[in-house]
Amino acid sequence: MAIRLGDVAPDFTAETTEGTVSFHEWLGDGWGILFSHPKDFTPVCTTELGGFAARKAEFDKRNTKLIAVSVDDVESHNRWKNDIGETQGTPLNFPIIGDETKKVSDLYDMIHPNASDTMTVRSVFVVGPDKKVKLTLTYPASTGRNVEEVIRVLDSLQLSAAFPVATPLNWKDGDDVIVALSVSDEDAKTKFPKGLRKVKDYLRFTPQPNK
């Protein structure tokens, strides 16, 4: 069954390029991103893994671990890793799950048979410290993801987990945010001392509270 926002991210134990991983234990108290790659030694996946490796420090800053999955075995991933480092400029610095049995891909409904019976789509699952799924993305094999967008949504998720706010269209870190409807004007004054810009009763902005 499809995994929905708010569901507990299914736990699993799997072999990876960095040894055996028990997913929930490996996540610890932080955030995690599990993302699928249709197949080893494919061009788009190679650029994606290199691009996420290059931005790993940004995920570290956000207390967020990365883990990839592809439906080939660890031995294949290890050979592919060399190509990723050689061609993308950054050695791979997070684990790839060996999923030749499709255990993890099936658990997370990453194989969409009307797209392909054998390869996963490009799924992204952001998991919070409570092990619940906070965000999902699904791209077809032909469309590479945007690492900056994944960092942007992570910032939004972490901000709205810490404060009663939401983020508007095209928001990026540092922009004003929307005060949640659950907060009265009166409470907003104490919760958001940097000020309230009221456009409508239901549309109120405040400077980003953690900046």
Q: Which of 38, 50, 51, 128 binds ligand BEZ (CB under 6 A)?
A: 38
Our finding on whether 45 is near ligand BEZ (CB under 6 A) is: yes
Our finding on whether 44 is near ligand BEZ (CB under 6 A) is: yes
All residues at 6 or more sequence positions from 99 whose CB lies less than 8 Å from its CB, including other chains: 14, 69, 70, 71, 72, 105
Q: With both helix axes pointing from N to C terminus, report the angle between 43-54 and 147-162 in degrees, rounded to the nearest 10.
A: 50
> Which residue number, 114 or 182, has a Cβ lying nearer to ligand BEZ?
114
Which residue among 34, 45, 67, 154 is the active-site one? 45
96 CB neighbour count, 10 Å cutoff: 26
- Contacts with ligand BEZ by CB under 6 A: the residue count is 9
Q: Which stretch binds ligand BEZ (CB under 6 A): 40-48, 53-61, 176-184, 190-198?
A: 40-48
**Residues 116-135, interacting with ligand BEZ (CB under 6 A):** 119
Our finding on whether 39 is near ligand BEZ (CB under 6 A) is: yes
75 CB neighbour count, 10 Å cutoff: 12
**Residues 64-123, interacting with ligand BEZ (CB under 6 A):** 119
> Which residue number, 119 or 133, has a Cβ lying nearer to ligand BEZ?
119
Distance CA(10)–CA(5), nearest Å, equals 12
Q: How far is the CB of 67 from ligand BEZ (least distance, A)?
A: 18
Residue 96 contacts residue 70 (beta carbons within 8 Å):
yes
**Residues 135-154, interacting with ligand BEZ (CB under 6 A):** 141-142
Q: Which stretch binds ligand BEZ (CB under 6 A): 36-44, 68-76, 157-165, 201-209?
A: 36-44
Q: How far is the CB of 66 from ligand BEZ (least distance, A)?
A: 17
> Which residue number, 143 or 210, has a Cβ lying nearer to ligand BEZ?
143
Burial class (CB in 10 A: 0-12, 13-18, 19+), 134: buried
- Identify whether 27 is a catalytic site residue: no
Q: Which stretch binds ligand BEZ (CB under 6 A): 15-23, 35-43, 97-105, 149-157?
A: 35-43
Name the residues annotated as catalytic. 45
**Residues engaged in binding ligand BEZ (CB under 6 A):** 38-39, 42-45, 119, 141-142
